[in-house]
């Protein structure tokens, strides 16, 4: 989905509920939907206390400006650890307690996870230097300066989102490569923040009237999975060990990148990818900006689950963290939610997190644990606890 609003403005529209709300993804979906998570963020009132890129409340921290990256369990652990403070503040502000089902919890965490892939602004002076050093100036013009072989780049002031750049560089890469070869121009590569700085310079130097850039909102992971196969990316690349083995596995956590880093990596690796596609008879796919956003959302949705937890460690943690001071496990005559084996629906990590979130307001409330007794957990411990709860044989 695209629009002519800036990122902050678009987030504000979503979070404040101007757009008609949609439901979360179907129960059977194997992956979470960050786009629907943005709806949950607004509908459940998170936006009243938290902002995303400056759009939203100021009571809690801006969730797009916290250090990252974070996995699903990093975020889940952070939610749990801050619940006593959040519960107190919500009571003070008379904010109703939000209830999350499994779909909503998964989508919400996916939305919060997407903040990992947005960049800080680049530096125009550094980009101006790169525009000359990388020989962009030979073919492209910005602000009346440069060649006319390629298109004038002034338009990027209005349409220069990282996703748009990634799609344009991929689609026009073969043509640009031929033009550079014909003129004896070495093909440049981009490292670190270089592409970010270059985009910042192009936007700053453009004489066009200032308008907000076109922004592609967090894509739809399920659609990205379909496109990954349809565009034949899976012929060469694996995702979490499934797919082709010619190129790198794109869901490896070490390969996590921001959107601009993703665009730079696609440009840098384009010659090798194009050669591999030609040798295998794979047509070079064209990608719209929204399609690129969907594919990136799919890759992030796959990789944000850390390694599976250990149920045995989770059982020990349930005792060490004091869970069994209030709960039993398969006890005779036990009743849900007191007996953990009688809590229904704990069939996915998102369902476990939703159950812990909903129940935690009881523990964090006025009749809950004494001050200082709230058991905080690390991300790995949260994964182990989730694995333990999912492993329990459900009592009738």
pLDDT tens sequence for the chain (396 residues)? 333 333 343 343 333 333 333 333 333 344 567 778 888 999 998 988 998 877 888 998 888 777 655 677 888 888 888 888 888 888 888 888 889 998 898 888 878 876 656 667 789 999 999 999 999 999 999 999 999 888 898 887 766 667 777 788 888 888 898 889 998 999 999 998 899 899 889 888 988 765 544 444 567 778 888 999 999 998 988 887 777 888 887 766 444 567 778 788 888 988 889 898 989 899 989 988 788 878 877 877 676 655 568 999 999 999 898 888 778 887 755 555 678 888 888 888 888 888 888 876 655 443 444 445 688 899 889 989 988 988 887 655
Per-residue tokens: 100: 């999350």
Q: CB-side exposure of 15: number of CA atoms within 13 Å? A: 23
Is residue 55 classed as helix, strand or coil in its secondary structure?
Answer: strand
- What distance in Å separates the CA atoms of residue 15 and residue 56, rounded to the nearest whole number? 7
User: 204 and 124 in contact (C-beta within 8 Å)?
Assistant: yes
Specify the pTM. Answer: 0.63
Per-residue tokens: 184: 């004896």
Separation of first and last alpha carbons in the chain: 45
Sign of the CA dihedral running 360, 366, 367, 372: positive
- What distance in Å separates the CA atoms of residue 340 and residue 334, rounded to the nearest whole number? 9
List of E strands, 196-237: 215-216
What is the residue whose two structure tokens read 């990992």?
A: 116
């Amino acid at each position: 989905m695209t629009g002519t609003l800036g990122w902050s403005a678009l987030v504000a529209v979503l979070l404040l509920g101007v757009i008609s709300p949609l439901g979360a993804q179907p129960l059977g979906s194997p992956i979470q939907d960050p786009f629907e998570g943005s709806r949950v963020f607004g509908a459940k009132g998170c936006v009243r206390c938290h902002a995303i890129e400056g759009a939203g409340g100021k009571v809690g921290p801006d969730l797009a400006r916290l250090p990252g990256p974070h996995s699903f369990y990093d975020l889940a652990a952070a939610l749990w650890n801050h619940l006593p403070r959040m519960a107190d503040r919500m009571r003070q502000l008379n904010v109703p307690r939000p209830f999350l089902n499994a779909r909503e919890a998964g989508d919400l965490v996916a939305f919060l996870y997407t903040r990992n892939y947005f960049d800080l602004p680049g530096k125009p002076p550094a980009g101006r230097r790169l525009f000359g050093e990388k020989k962009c100036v030979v073919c492209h013009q910005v602000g009346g300066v440069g060649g006319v072989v390629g298109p004038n780049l002034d338009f990027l002031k209005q349409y220069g989102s990282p996703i748009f750049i990634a799609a344009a560089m991929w689609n026009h890469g073969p043509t640009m490569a031929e033009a550079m070869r014909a003129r004896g121009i070495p093909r440049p590569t981009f490292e670190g923040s270089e592409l970010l700085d270059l985009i910042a310079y192009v936007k700053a130097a453009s004489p066009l009237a200032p308008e907000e850039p076109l922004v592609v909102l967090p894509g739809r992971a399920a659609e990205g999975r379909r496109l990954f196969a349809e565009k034949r990316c899976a012929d060469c690349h694996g995702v979490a060990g499934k797919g082709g083995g010619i190129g790198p596995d794109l869901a490896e956590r070490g390969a996590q990148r921001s959107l601009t880093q993703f665009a730079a990596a696609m440009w840098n690796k384009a010659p090798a990818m194009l050669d591999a596609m030609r040798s295998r008879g794979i047509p070079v796919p064209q990608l719209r900006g929204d399609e690129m956003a969907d594919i990136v959302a799919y890759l992030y949705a796959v990789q944000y689950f850390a390694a599976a937890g250990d149920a045995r460690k989770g059982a020990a943690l349930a005792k060490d963290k004091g869970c069994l001071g209030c709960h039993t496990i398969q006890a005779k005559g036990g009743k849900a939610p007191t007996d953990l084996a009688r809590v229904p629906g704990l069939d996915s990590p998102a369902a476990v997190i939703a159950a812990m979130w909903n129940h935690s307001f009881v523990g964090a409330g006025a009749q809950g644990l004494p001050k200082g007794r709230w058991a905080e957990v690390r991300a790995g411990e949260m994964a182990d606890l989730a694995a333990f709860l999912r492993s329990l044989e459900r009592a009738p």
